[in-house]
Amino acid sequence: MTTIVQHQAALRAGPTTSADLVDAALARIEAPQGEGARVFTHVYADQARAAARAADKLRAAGLSRSAIDGLPISIKDLFDVAGETTLAGSVVLQGEPAASESAVIVKRLQAAGAVLVGKTNMTEFAYSGLGINPHYGTPKNPWDRATGRIPGGSSAGAAVSVSDAMAVAGIGSDTGGSVRIPAALCGLTGFKPTARRVSTRGALPLSVNLDSIGPIAASVACCAQLDAILAGDDASPLVAARLAGLRLAVPTTVVLDGMDAHVATSFAASLTRLSAAGALVTEIAVPAFSESQAINAKGGFTAAEAWAWHRALIARASERYDPRVVSRIARGEAMSAADYIDLLGARTRWIAEVEATIAGYDALLLPTVPVVAPVIADLVASDEAYFRANGLILRNPTMINFLDGCALSLPCQAPGSAPVGLMVAGPALSDKRILAIGLAIEARLRNAP
C-alpha cells in the first residue's frame, strides 16, 4: 500500500496532484460494484474537491501544512462536524440537533490540510468489535470478499476505506480495540494511543474512562504522523528502535488461548524472526490478565457509562437500536454506584499489578485477535455465534484499554494469506517508544524471508 511519505513524494515531484488523489478516492467510493455505499454514511464530495484544489495551490506556492496536506482522509461517524447531526452508525439520532462545532480532532486534521472525504460506517454507537451494522450495511473485509467476512469493529468503515484506497488513512476510536481489531482483520496498521493524549471533545462517547482516538493506515510511520497531528504533538520524524537487545515479553496468561491455526502459526513465525534479529523474546505469566473477566463481569465501565449516556434515549426509542447493541448497553442499568466505585478501585490496583509485572520489558507482544475474520452471515444468523465471536475478538485489545496503555497492531501474516495482527503494547504514555519499536518490528517482518 502507498504510505503518506510516498504520497507526499509523488505530490512534490509532480506525477500527481491532490485533486487527482481525491478524484480517484471519490470514484472508488461511488463505484457501484465496490463497498463505498457500506463504508461511508456521508460523503463530502464537493468540499473534498475544493479542499484538494486549495492544497494544490498552496503546494505550487511552496507551502505545506503537514505530512497529510492534500491527502484524502476519512473520519468515523462519531466525530462532530459543525452543522451536521452525528449519527454514530445509528438511526436513533436522526433528526437530533446538528453539532455547533467540529470535534477537536476534526479541527486538527483540517488545520493540517487533510482532505476529509467522508464519515465512515461503524458498529452502532461503537459497541461491538465485529463491525456489523443492520442499519447501513456491513462493509466486507478485503480478504476473501467473495465469502463476505467481517471487517472488524467498531471502526469498520475506517479500515475498509483504507484497504480499498478510498482514503489514505481513516481515523477511528478505540474503547476496547475498535481501531486495532479492524486493522488486524483487514491487514492494516492501527494505533491506539494513551487515551489522555488525544482530546475526545466532540466525539460521541462510549466509555469516558476507556475511549481513545487513533489512526488506521498503511504503515507504522503513517500512524505516527497522524497520531502527532491528532494529539497536537511535535511532528518530529519517528526513528526506529534497535531490535537487537530489545526485551519483548509475550504474555502466556489468557491472551494466547483460543488461537486458530493460522493465527498461531503467523504469530510464532513473527516471534522467530524477531529473535533471529537479536530481540530478547521472553514468555511471561501476567496473573492479573486472568482477573480481568471477573473484574468486568457486570459490564465494566463500558456498560455503566454507555447506560448513563443512552438511558433517556433508550426510554423513548429502544426499538430503533440494533437489539444486540441495546442489550449490552442495558446491562449498565443494574450497576450500582457502589459497583462503579469498586470498579474504579479494582482498575487502579490491576494497572499497578500489570505495570509491576512488565516493568523490566520494552514492550508486550501478543496476537491482536486470536482468529481470522469470521463470516458475516454466520454471525448475523445467530446471537450465540455473534456474542461468542465478539467476546473472543475483543478480549486481547481490551486488556490494553483497561491498562490505560497504548498499542499498535501491524500485519504479521505470510504474503497472500489471511490477515493477522501482531500487537505491540506498553503502559500509559509509552506511545513514542511503542511506535519506535513498532517501526523496527515492521521493517523486520516485511523484509524477512
Give me the catalytic one of 18, 74, 161, 178: 178
Q: State the pTM of this model.
A: 0.98
In a domain, 425, yes or no: no
Range of the domain at 87: 4-231
Cell numbers standing for residue 338: 457502589
DSSP 223-262: HHHHHHHHHT---PPP-PPP-TT-EEEEE-SSTTTT--HH
In a domain, 415, yes or no: no
Measured between alpha carbons, how far is 254 from 34 in angstroms, rounded to an integer? 38
Quick: pLDDT tens for 145-198: 999 999 999 999 999 999 999 999 999 999 999 999 999 999 999 999 999 999
In a domain, 307, yes or no: no
Give me the catalytic one of 74, 76, 161, 219: 76
pLDDT band of residue 235 (cuts 50, 70, 90) is: confident
Contact 224, 193 (CB under 8 A): no
In a domain, 427, yes or no: no
Quick: pLDDT tens for 61-86: 999 999 999 999 999 999 999 999 99
The verdict on whether 154 is a catalytic residue reads yes
The verdict on whether 178 is a catalytic residue reads yes
Whether residue 252 is predicted with pLDDT greater than 90 in this model: the reply is yes
In a domain, 414, yes or no: no
Kindly give, in sequence order, each residue whose CB lies less than 8 Å from that of residue 55, ignoring residues fewer than 6 positions away.
18, 69, 70, 113, 115
In a domain, 19, yes or no: yes
In a domain, 248, yes or no: no
Whether residue 448 is predicted with pLDDT greater than 60 in this model: the reply is no
Quick: pLDDT tens for 120-141: 999 999 999 999 999 999 999 9
Whether residue 449 is predicted with pLDDT greater than 80 in this model: the reply is no
The predicted pLDDT at position 234 comes to 87
Q: Give me the CATH number covering residue 16.
A: 3.90.1300.10
pLDDT band of residue 100 (cuts 50, 70, 90) is: very high
Whether residue 251 is predicted with pLDDT greater than 70 in this model: the reply is yes
Average pLDDT for 274-291: 98
Domains in the chain, number? 1
Whether residue 29 is predicted with pLDDT greater than 70 in this model: the reply is yes
In a domain, 312, yes or no: no
In the numeric block, the cell 501544512 is attached to 65
Measured between alpha carbons, how far is 434 from 419 in angstroms, rounded to an integer? 21
Give me the catalytic one of 74, 102, 128, 154: 154
